[in-house]
Amino acid sequence: MSTITHTAANSLEAKVAGFRVDFLNADLVAYLVLVLAAFLWLLIIISHCVLQRRYVSPRPFVDRPAEHYPPVTIIRPLKGLDQGLRRTLESSFRQEYPGVVEILFAVEDPNDPSIGVANELIECYPKTRARVLIGQDNVGINPKINNMMKAFARARSDLLWICDSNVYTDPGTLRRSVDLLLDNKRMGVIHHVIFSEAPATFGAMLDNAFLVTNHCRMYLAINAVGIASCLTGKSNIYYKSALDNVGGLAAFGHYLAEDNMIGQALWRSGWSHTMTGDLARQPADIGSFSEYCSRRIRWVRTRKYNVTFATFYEPLTESILLGALTSWALRHLYGLNVYSTFSTFMSCWFALDMLFFYRINHGSPQSWPWFAFSWICREILALPLWLVAIVGDTVTWRGQVFRFHLNGTVEVLK
């Protein structure tokens, strides 16, 4: 009898010990969630500080002689008639830059309709050194790299500004960017955050809500922390000699995310990155809901093979999942009501995103109700689209299907 009692007591003690371990593990997970949430809120605060310092109060021009400004070559890769193409391309001609500016339009097809727009602008600005380069050098599978190779080879300046055809930049963008380069000799990349404008469809509104809040906010914060390279390729200024030292543009022709790979290569070579308070403004040109979903899946899937850890960590930076985990952690540790905590979390996140947009846009959106509705839908869709993207290894871009390899390079399937 005593043996049976002793065995039962040992069994009960083991169960209690196991429960204590599980409880401690749950405590640990809850504390880790709160640390993660605190880190994300810190990044939000940092982004608002950067916003105030760079974008609400933009950097004035540096007072230096015109002869101190080096010549710059602007490379504009063209393909088809982007929305508002004349306005975006003309912004290159209207730069208030004291030095010499050369503009090279790179296009593959001699019958491309964008050539007519470029030639009209060249005629309107005869004092600007500008020309259209036609042809393609196949150095890889990336069509943008292939298209730009001829311009890269013929550029007369060491300082290159590679700017997508659908990007509009303010007249002072180039001068402010070069001022930063001249102030710091180890500064090797100046980039400008994407800012979407004038959405006309529901898909475009979703993309706009993502780009002008979540993406823009995280982009400013991560670059302010400056622990690694983080840049997109819409509007970047490089030294051609620095690019040549890491293999030139041709070395990145086998990557779809050539912008990220170029940034990483220059970062590893000791070149710092920074941003001005200027925006790479682009029209919100997505035509449908399915097109928005396809673009987001392509972005996530591409990043999975180039910045793997950050991509798998990405869902924990989204408001709904992080809010739910934070609410559970506070309920587990301190007994707070889950629903009240979650609603407070989401309300604060929403309010700060609306404030962020209002300040960086210097005004209201076209419609606050529609913008808020688009933001809510975008937040709800974030995790499902991430789950779809994370399990695949192919993307469709410009009518071609690409498959990723583990090293980030891709092959064309069709």
Active-site amino acid positions: 259
Q: Using only C-alpha atoms, what is the Rg of the chain?
A: 25
Strands, E, within 183-271: which ranges?
Answer: 187-197, 235-239
Q: Which of 257, 279, 259 is nearest to 193 (CA)?
A: 279
CB 61 within 8 Å of CB 172: yes
Cα distances (Å, whole numbers) of residue 241 to 68, 130, 187, 245, 326: 19, 22, 13, 6, 48
Q: Which of 344, 373, 43 is nearest to 214 (CA)?
A: 43
Angle between helices 202-209 and 289-304 (to 10 degrees): 40
CB 191 within 8 Å of CB 276: no
Distance CA 401, CA 403 (A): 7
DSSP 159: E
* Chain Cα centroid distance, residue 389: 17
Sequence-distant (6+) residues with CB within 8 A of 22 are none
State the CB neighbour count (10 A cutoff) for residue 245: 13
State in Å, rounded, how far the first CA of the chain is from the last one: 77
Distance CA 392, CA 333 (A): 38
